[in-house]
Amino acid sequence: MKNFLALYLVAGLTLSLSQPIHSQGNPEANKLAREGSQAYKDQDWDRAISLLKRAFDLDHKYAPNLVAAYEQRAFAEANDQRFQDAILDLEAALKISPREARIYEQRAAVEVKINDYDKAVADYSEAIKLNPNEVRNYLYRGYIYELKGDVNNSMADTDKVLKIQPNNQQALARKQRLQKKQQSQAPPPGPVQNPSAPVPPKKP
């Protein structure tokens, strides 16, 4: 859980241009998309995005290709510790494809690297709305809550993980930690007071 970019980097490596280049449709868009696809394969992300954006403007069927290029450039930027640039590219990807849980997840991972925990929580929450059975997002959000000292919300996410995967070792370990914190934060036991008990009369 310490390296929030680990999953993000793996996701970046496995992305590919998902929309094949067809000869049908707008010929100029097809030509631009083919050139953008080649730039993508060459890992020339700036050229790939420029060409695919022009192809997308002419034919929206190339939206997945442009999104993939934005994600790959963001991956490269994050790997180079250019985190703000990576966030901007992921924001651009979300404008085109706002219902991709993966992109929110990737942006949250970058936000954690710059300690912007509130935004990371918001992005993991959005990813959870779009993909409520994905355990890793509860794990990551629960970890951020734990870092922030929000034991109750961290416990809620941990319990959600254990409901989906009862033997998840990360969740089980976190639950033990959180229970210890809850015990240490509990107020010390004091004298039992009964507010309904009669008040003894004062001595004359």
**Domains, the chain, with CATH or none:** 1-115 (1.25.40.10), 133-182 (no CATH)
Q: Retrieve residue 187's tokens.
A: 């107020």
The CA dihedral of 119, 109, 72, 57, to the nearest 10 degrees, is -20
DSSP-derived secondary structure letter, 22: -
Predicted pLDDT at 194: 46
3-state secondary structure of 165: coil
Q: What is the pLDDT of residues 125-167, one digit of tens each?
A: 999 999 999 999 999 999 999 999 999 999 999 999 999 999 9
Predicted pLDDT at 25: 77
Q: What is the rounded distance in angstroms from the CA atom of residue 69 to the CA atom of residue 187?
A: 53
DSSP-derived secondary structure letter, 60: G
Return the axis-axis angle of helices 117-130 and 135-147, rounded to nearest 10°.
160
Q: What is the pLDDT of residues 47-79, one digit of tens each?
A: 999 999 999 999 999 999 999 999 999 999 999
Query: What does the radius of gyration of the chain's CA atoms come to, in whole angstroms?
Result: 25
Q: What is the pLDDT of residues 164-195, one digit of tens each?
A: 999 999 999 999 999 999 998 876 665 545 44
| pTM > 0.85: yes or no | no
Q: What is the rounded distance in angstroms from the CA atom of residue 85 to the CA atom of residue 175?
A: 36
Give Dmax over CA atoms of the chain in angstroms: 105
